[in-house]
Structure 1
Amino acid sequence: MNPITLRDETPADVGAIHDITVAAFAPLELSGHTEQFVVQALRAAHALTVSLVAEVDGQPVGHIAFSPVTLSDGTPDWYGLGPVSVLPAHQRQGIGKALIHEGLARLKALHARGCCLVGHPAYYRRFGFENTPDLSLDGVPPDVFFALSFDGRMPCGTVSFHPAFMATGPASESSQDGRAGS
Structure 2
Amino acid sequence: MLIRQATADDAPMIHVLHNAAFAPHNPGVTGEMPEARLVEGLRGDGDLIPALSLVAVRDGEVIGHACASPARLGDDPASAVGFGPLGVLPAHQRSGAGSALVHATVGAANALGRSLVVLLGSPAYYARFGFVLAETLGITPPVADWAPHFQALPLAAYTPGDRGAFRYAPAFDRL
Q: Which amino acid aligns with 2:84?
A: G
TM-score (norm 1): 0.84
- Note if contact 2:42-2:48 (Cα within 8 Å) is conserved in structure 1: yes
Q: Deviations over 1:22-73 (max 9, x none)?
A: 0000000489731111111111111111111111100010000111110124
Q: Deviations over 1:115-155 (max 9, x none)?
A: 10000010011111101321111224311000111134242
Of 157, 164, 167, which residue of structure 1 is paired with 2:164? Answer: 157
For the residue of structure 2 that corresponds to 1:97, the secondary structure is: helix
Q: Structure 1: how far apart are the matches of 2:121 and 2:27?
A: 10
TM-score where L is the length of structure 2: 0.88
Cα offset, 1:165, TM superposition: 1.3
Deviating above 3 A after TM superposition, structure 1's stretches of 4 or more consecutive aligned residues are 29-32
Which of 131, 135, 139 is the equivalent residue of 2:139? 135
Q: Secondary structure of 2:105's match?
A: helix
Are 2:65 and 2:86, in contact at CA under 8 Å, matched by a contact in 1? yes
Q: Does 1:23 align with 2:25?
A: no
Structure 2 CA distance for aligned equivalents of residues 165 and 111 of structure 1: 23
Contact 1:39 1:83 survives alignment (8 Å): yes
Change (3 A) 1:30 1:143: farther
Please identify, of 157-166 and 81-90, the stretch whose mean Cα deviation from structure 2 is larger. 157-166
Does the Cα contact within 8 Å between 2:79 and 2:116 map onto a contact in 1? yes
Q: What is the CA-CA distance between 1:81 and the residue it aligns to?
A: 0.5
CA contact (8 A) 2:71 2:77 kept: no
1:1-182 → structure 2 map (5 Å cutoff): 4-29=1-26, 33-49=33-49, 50-74=52-76, 76-133=78-135, 134-139=138-143, 140-150=145-155, 151-154=157-160, 155-168=162-175
CA RMSD of aligned residues (A): 1.8
Deviation at 1:156, TM superposition (A): 2.1
Pairs aligned (count): 165
Shift of 1:114: 1.1
Structure 1 Cα separation of the partners of residues 174 and 20 of structure 2 = 18
